[in-house]
Amino acid sequence: MSANLANLLGAKTKVQTSPLIAGSSKRTLLTDSEDATIFATTPSHVHLTFPAPLPGATHLALTFQGGFVATSVMIYVATRAPEEQSGVELGLMMGARIHPEDNSRRQIFRIPYPPNVLIPPKTIESLPTASTSAASLGPTIYTEVAPHPLGGGDKGPALDGAFTPASHTSTISGGAGMAVPGLTEIKLEFEETSDNQGRVTLYQVEILG
């Protein structure tokens, strides 16, 4: 699966966050996962705004530090309809809640677009299509088997490009064969964390398509 997905984020992506813990950085969330350039905060949010709509953005990848993982995250998205549908840009809308596992591995979720923003195939056939099942329109998690090089959390065997599907599913529903719109913003609200003091350490955010 990972071989077919590429990170769509560019250097001009605008990053807004809740107040940071001293010594952490938010810009490097988009570029690397080195321990010197982490994002650390008491749980609130990370909000990404893109200079132009991201076409075909279907998945979200998050890399946390084990022990400081946001174990409940509400995802909001903003989209722009294609020109064939007047190009209207919609504000942030609630997608669904995801539940990352408490480890240091890169975890991949489907972006939970609200059903009302998905595009019928006949409207614009050139856009990538979402999975045809209703459940798959929500955030299904795939966790890399190989551990994050910074350590922490569970460590599995190192297998090239291997992913293990977890049991997380979404209640978001929609029609079969729907295409995803251009993604203009995504906001992650951290509701719960594995740290008993409520802290979150996030190494990297990726928007994949």
The HSE-up count of residue 151 (CA atoms within 13 Å, CB side) is 0
Does domain 2-208 match CATH 2.60.120.260? Answer: yes
Query: What's residue 22's pLDDT?
Result: 54
Query: What's residue 99's pLDDT?
Result: 97
Per-domain residue ranges of the chain: 2-208
Q: Is 135 left (phi over 0), alpha (psi -120 to 50) or beta?
A: alpha
Query: What's residue 169's pLDDT?
Result: 30
Q: Are 167 and 149 in contact (CB under 8 A)?
A: no
The mean pLDDT value of the chain amounts to 73
pLDDT, tens digit (0-9, with 9 covering 90-100), for 10-30: 889 999 888 765 555 555 566
pLDDT, tens digit (0-9, with 9 covering 90-100), for 173-200: 334 567 888 999 999 999 999 999 888 9
pLDDT, tens digit (0-9, with 9 covering 90-100), for 119-171: 876 554 444 444 434 344 455 565 554 444 444 444 333 333 333 333 333 32
